[in-house]
Amino acid sequence: MIKAGKENWEIYQEMGISKEVYDYCDKIWNSLKPRWEEIDILSEYNQLKVIHAMQKNQVSEACLLGTTGYGYSDLGRETLERVYADIFHTEEALVRPQITCGTHALALALMSNLRPGDELLSPVGKPYDTLEEVIGIRPSKGSLKEYGISYKQVDLLSDGNFDFENIRKAINEKTKLVTIQRSKGYQTRPTLSVDRIGELIAFIKGIKPDIICMVDNCYGEFTEIKEPSDVGADLVVGSLIKNPGGGLAPIGGYLAGKKDCIDNAAYRLTSPGLGKEVGASLQALPAFYQGLFLAPSVTANALKSAIFAANLYEALGFSVVPNGKESRHDIIQAVTFGNPDGVIAFCQGIQQAAPVDGHVTPEPWDMPGYDSPVIMAAGAFVSGSSIELSADGPIKPPYAVYFQGGLTWQHGKFGIMKSMQKLVEKGIITKDFGKRNL
């Protein structure tokens, strides 16, 4: 029988964790156990919500078989989309392996529901870096700007609140769609709770009721009992290699929302006249269904890992968003180092904890869609899957790293311990576990 303590410490030691780092991390973890119960209650609710949607729509073994070619009358695909619509309480959903990533899902939603002469508004500041080229903030072929769609942005106030006065001024007769990014992206702003998103949507609809309110839901699914579609969002959009894929989906994205918005997206994804009727599911459906089934518990593990990271690095003297005691509305944890060495060392520590490519040393590189070198640690079973243990960050001020994922809490815990160990070895954290001023 394995006893807690000695045997665990011995295997951590074999895997490169010093006794001092182990003891420091163990003290932090023991202080967090009461929060684990809250997360388990949330996970239980969302697990039952998923099972209820699957049972309601009579998911059967036949739904797992998939199709090839045109994919006409694909029972599994059509049933899965009804399951997503029920989970998000929307009229329809589009869930496809042909949607390659979160950026593709968001671009699809925007390009299908905006027309030349329309205006897109972001009332929550700058969108995620890869959307800048989609919108045309940075020039790119095929951007919304090239199609005559204009863009306005209202930044959050310095305290993270909405700038309602300037949002009101920004809305005009051309404003067709509002994009609300729930998570922080590569910024150290607060993630938006579902209730705050609902407050913003109500304000916008009060000014112009026919505006389409779209929420970039990436990293936020199953972190609360409600989703943005429960508080007035016309469209919620996300990636299956994040929370809802449960670590099993090998590719894919989803859109859930109003029927006309989903129809527009389907016709853009495939072809006018074809829409949702085509698109073979190939062999993806078993992973899509089982990943969705596992998603609430996998997301709960990622939340535990993020909370552990927040409390650990806050205790070490670093600026973290959210802080160790705040409520959580996504799985991302930002830690600001103020210098590139800290970002690089953190990511290298996370990589060393990976079950796949744990022997690889990540370095910053010029990734497509970004305006600066980016370092990414992602030793994952699904390439690029950020619901698996991962960390990344742009090599530019304020030199913050963004940590997320962990299919199991135990792996998340080990990854954070490994990141601390790397920072100690690099001298970025001093031997007495204080932050070294660089």
CATH topology of 6-47+293-425 equal to that of 63-284?
no
The mean pLDDT value for 286-292 works out to 98
Q: How far apart are CA 78 and CA 66, in angstroms?
A: 11
Mean pLDDT of 193-202: 98
* Nearest-5° Cα angle at 94, 91 to 96: 160
Query: Could you tell me the pTM of the whole model?
Result: 0.95
Q: Which residues contact 266 (CB under 8 A, 6 or more apart)?
A: 94, 275, 276
pLDDT the model gives residue 2: 44
pLDDT of residue 436 exceeding 90, the answer is: no
Integer angstrom CA distances of residue 115 from 148, 175, 298, 338:
8, 11, 38, 42
Confidence of residue 147 (pLDDT cuts 50, 70, 90): very high
**Vertex 304: Cα angle to 34 and 22 (nearest 5):** 85
Cross-strand partners of 239: 253
* C-alpha span between 86 and 274 (Å, rounded): 24
Provide the pLDDT for residue 434.
61
**Mean of per-residue pLDDT scores for the chain:** 94
Q: Express each pLDDT in 221-266 by its tens digit.
A: 999 999 999 999 999 999 999 999 999 999 999 999 999 999 999 9
6-47+293-425, CATH topology level: Aspartate Aminotransferase, domain 1 (3.90.1150)
Q: What integer is the mean pLDDT of 372-385?
A: 92
User: CA separation (Å) from 31 to 23, 40, 177?
Assistant: 13, 17, 44
pLDDT digits (tens, 9 = 90+) for 105-141: 999 999 999 999 999 999 999 998 889 999 999 999 9
Task: Determine the pLDDT at residue 438.
Answer: 44
**Contact partners, residue 71, CB within 8 Å, separation at least 6:** 77, 278, 279, 280, 281
> Domain-by-domain residue ranges, the chain?
6-47+293-425, 63-284
What pLDDT is recorded for position 6? 66
The CATH class given to the 63-284 domain equals alpha beta
pLDDT over threshold 60, residue 1: no
- One-letter identity of residue 190: P
> Residue 370: its pLDDT value, please?
78
